[in-house]
Structure 1
């Protein structure tokens, strides 16, 4: 198993994060909205937040990104993207399990939104114990999922 770590993102990571998003999410974005390179670059420029994003590394190489918001009543997984060359190796599972443990320790649920067309990610989240609680966005393109803490 790779040595996986997180490091703070810096402004210099902007292009890496854009190319990562294109590789990991481009097909899903294209299926819903169509991929327009300039629109996507503008969207990225507005959303890139190095102060709150982490870069996922495996064996010292940058392979993904993670954005988590710690809210009053929940831990919100804003984004997790792992480059397709590194998917299927348990990296996302390991990171999400760590967030689930952290949320549980804080007495909170882990909450996230996933695109309805991203069946692979939905299957991962379900396998890790998250459940669909709502659909939203134009045409219900997003699924809100929440961890179910055991009662107690």
Structure 2
């Protein structure tokens, strides 16, 4: 598969929110309720931090991956693949990019996943992520870098982001 990753730019804003909305609205609604303005502002604020890459296949945008490198860890803030592009290994390749970054930095990779998103939760667990916190709405998972033993990730994340 010939996926490309490019830095998101301001011209992508509308597409990013549309993709986020189509991918995440059901999970956000069942967990917190959906407020369009709040969600749009929250996504825009989040994307100003860290690194957001548009995932393209044959020149067509099909999703995005957003991460942030912190002093002691890497946060996968969001991985959104457009619904019509899911189940094509695009998410796996996008995640592999962030896992490789985490490994190269020798930092554990953290993420949050909605508890109601059982497909994503189980997918991350099959890959090797381990749950370190669960408040009934959001589960925090961690993947140790290849060079660290699994027990080395028993630390709690520095901060949580829904």
Deviations 1:7-38 (A, max 9, x none): 11111111101100111111111212233333
Q: Which residue of 2 aligns with 1:90?
A: 89
Aligned to 1:13: 12
Structure 2 match to 1:151: 149
Instruction: Provide, for residues 42-99 of structure 1, a one-character-per-residue CA deviation record: whole Å limited to 9, x for no partner.
Output: 4334434287321111111111111111122211111110001111111111221232
Give the number of equivalent residue pairs: 148
Task: Quote the Cα distance in structure 1 between the aligned partners of 2:144 and 2:46.
Answer: 29
Which aligned segments of 4 or more residues in structure 1 are displaced greater than 4 angstroms? none
1:8–1:51: 8 Å Cα contact kept in structure 2? no
What do you get for the CA RMSD once the two structures are aligned? 2.1
Q: Is the 8 A contact 2:6 2:55 kept in 1?
A: yes
Deviation digits for residues 94-141 of structure 1 (CA, Å, limit 9, x no counterpart): 2212322332232211111111111111111111111101124xxx31
Question: Normalised by the size of structure 1, how large is the TM-score?
Answer: 0.86
User: Please, which runs of 5 or more residues in structure 1 have no aligned partner?
Assistant: none
5+ residue gaps, structure 2: 151-162
